[in-house]
Amino acid sequence: MPTATATSKKPHLSFCPFGATSITLTNFTSPPIRRPMTTSAVSIEKETVISERPYTFLRQTDGEDNGSIRSRFQSMILEMQESVCGALEALDGAGKFKEDAWTRPGGGGGISRVLQDGAVFEKAGVNISVVYGVMPPEAYRAAKASAAGQKSGPVPLFAAGISSVLHPKNPFAPTLHFNYRYFETDAPK
Mean pLDDT (whole number) for 24-40: 52
Residue 40 lies in a domain: no
Kindly report each contact of residues 33-41 with a partner whose C-beta sits within 8 Å and lies 24 or more positions away, as own/partner. Answer: 37/138, 38/138, 39/136, 39/138, 39/139, 40/136
Q: What is the pLDDT of the chain when averaged over all its residues? A: 78
Pair 24, 57 in one domain:
no
Pair 27, 57 in one domain:
no
Whole-number pLDDT of residue 123: 97
Residue 158 lies in a domain: yes
Residue 38 lies in a domain: no
CATH number of the domain at 84, please.
Answer: 3.40.1500.10
Residue 88 lies in a domain: yes
Pair 70, 102 in one domain:
yes
**Cα within 13 Å of Cα(120), Cβ side:** 14
Pair 102, 156 in one domain:
yes
CA distance 73 to 66: 9
In the chain, the N- to C-terminal Cα span, in Å, equals: 69
Pair 26, 60 in one domain:
no
pLDDT at 167 over 60: yes
Between residues 25 and 153, which one has the greater pLDDT?
153
Pair 114, 180 in one domain:
yes
Residue 137 lies in a domain: yes
177 catalytic, yes or no?
yes
pLDDT tens digits, residue range 55-95?
Answer: 788 887 766 666 789 999 999 999 999 999 999 999 999 99
Domain count, the chain: 2
CA distance 67 to 31: 50
Residue 64 lies in a domain: yes
Pair 18, 108 in one domain:
no
Pair 71, 106 in one domain:
yes
126 sits in which H/E element: strand 121-135
Pair 69, 155 in one domain:
yes
Mean pLDDT (whole number) for 5-23: 44
Residue 15 lies in a domain: yes
Q: 78 is in which domain, residue-wise?
A: 48-185
Pair 67, 22 in one domain:
no
Pair 55, 80 in one domain:
yes
Of residues 32, 1, 27, the one with CA closest to residue 14? 1
Residue 53 lies in a domain: yes
Q: Among 9, 96, 98, 177, which one carries the catalytic annotation?
A: 177
Pair 113, 162 in one domain:
yes
